[in-house]
Structure 1
Amino acid sequence: MTRFVKRKRHCCGLRAFSKDLQTLISQLQAAGIDNPRRELTLLIAFLQNRSYTDVFFEPAISGEDFDRLVPLVQRRCNNEPLSKIIGQREFWSLPFKVTADTLDPRPDSETLIQAVLEHFPDHDIPLTIIDFGTGTGCLFLSLLSEYPNSLGVGVDISDAALAVAQQNAGRLGLDQRASFIKGNWAEGMQGTFDVLISNPPYIGLNDLLEDSVKQYDPHQALYAGEDGLAAYRALLPQLPALMHPYSLAFLEIGLGQGDTVRWVAKQAGLVFLATYPDLSGIERVVVFGKSGPGH
């Protein structure tokens, strides 16, 4: 078991603790944490409610803060995501609150934002947007930040996740254009929307996951039946009723799921329009229109 260093409480600069801090950095490195010095700086910034840049250029830590830092480093060494420890994750250059009740926003999901921007290049257009399985609200709220004349609704079955999304909307100054509704996908929804988005759970029950994901992200937001496709089978048939002829639906998908998702969408009366890879070249987002005039 890893031993963590503690020191007597007294105020001093970072350099006075340099040996002990280096020990913490070494422990993070031994636990397989990438860029451990950066992560330690982020933890100190969190403890002191300072920016990363301030801590990096003007480091100062008290003995009391050091004692509080040690258990946080231990949690990180136990593979708990940094975002879950500090309660925040950046997405689309925006800060989002995260909790144990929400899936961590991931860079691959930014592919969906890029896809919407490509199809709707006019940022002044007044879009109506609906996000199914909104979680933290990162997709929905990032789009609202890009389209200042747009508004919409985030849907989730989890009360706890909806509370987090509502807080994120308020923190980002988007709460006047964002509504949140508890719902099971699109059941009971009415009206039509210009943009329909979703990053549903798409992990199969027997698929392998990293411990940091399996242990700390909510399983309801990860798993979707034996093959990971249950959410698409439930959601896609519900979408045409919420689409007008020029609506577009953007869905994130998992590795190797594109063909099956396209088939399910076709059976639901949707027309496949485009696909977008993530930074690793993996097909990540598929775009559909409603069959008939307009597509």
Structure 2
Amino acid sequence: MTSPTTTPQDAAELAERLLHGPDPELERAVTILAHPEGSGPVERREALLPRYDAIVARVGPPTLLGGTGHGPSVRWHTAERTLLLAGDSSAATLSVHDAQGLARREFWDFDSGRPMPYTWQLDRGGPGKDPGWTFNGHSADYTWDEAEESLTLLLSSWAEHMPVQAPGDWVGFRLRISRDWKRDMVVGVSPTATGYEFHAGIYDLDHEQTPEHAEHMRARGWRELDEHRWWRVNIPETDPGAAAELSRVVISDVRARRSTCPAEVHAWDISAGDNGRLWVPGLGFEVHPRRGEHY
């Protein structure tokens, strides 16, 4: 079970005071929810949801949705302040920051290779001022182990935080590899798809479906072939290893198709419910398009 630290009403009042009140204490993270050791992602998100809803009801929708590899990263911007909902597996916190100062610091964190301030960010045109200093670069991971870990953290974050921040929406992307460009793989998380929240599929039209080929596909982790010649794997979120297992299937498949490094794997059609712009700096593959202006 989860140990509440504040009520939803308390969290909402704190958010309003930090974002709009006089002389807030900058940079100080205030715990609004404490999770006991061993609590899972479903327990954590169910405990956070009423507090999140109360905050949104009080101060309005966020400017930017998002998450890290270990917690939420939701921002409300004014011209001078950024209210940040953050946390990890032990707690959720609220803090307020000088908007320009936080944006500059996070830009340099990305640029210098320090731990990422967020692994994904979703812009749905929420209210608030853009503080600038948005990092538009992207770097693929160097090793397959790094790419697998990055994908695991990203999928886990989506499964835990999308149902709170964007209830009912799926999230995912398509993958292509440089040496097998015509074949699509689809990877995603669908929180409303009970029993197969984590899923992936690959179109296999060009291969004769022999027993030998089926054996090779199953060895990579694919579980079933549908009538449209898509090999699929579906894993329920109740499986604590779901994100890691799905990541292993993805990496196993792209390596079996002769990819030599994560930079040869390209993610595109990256979307959350076909609504807004989703950026994934924490995905260890190349991404298209990259954030920002491109000429």
Same fold (TM over 0.5): no
* Structure with more of its chain in strand, by fraction: 2
Higher CA-based Rg:
1
- TM-score of the pair, normalised by structure 2: 0.30
Bigger relative contact order, structure 1 or 2 (CA pairs below 8 A, ≥6 apart)? 2
* Structure with more of its chain in helix, by fraction: 1
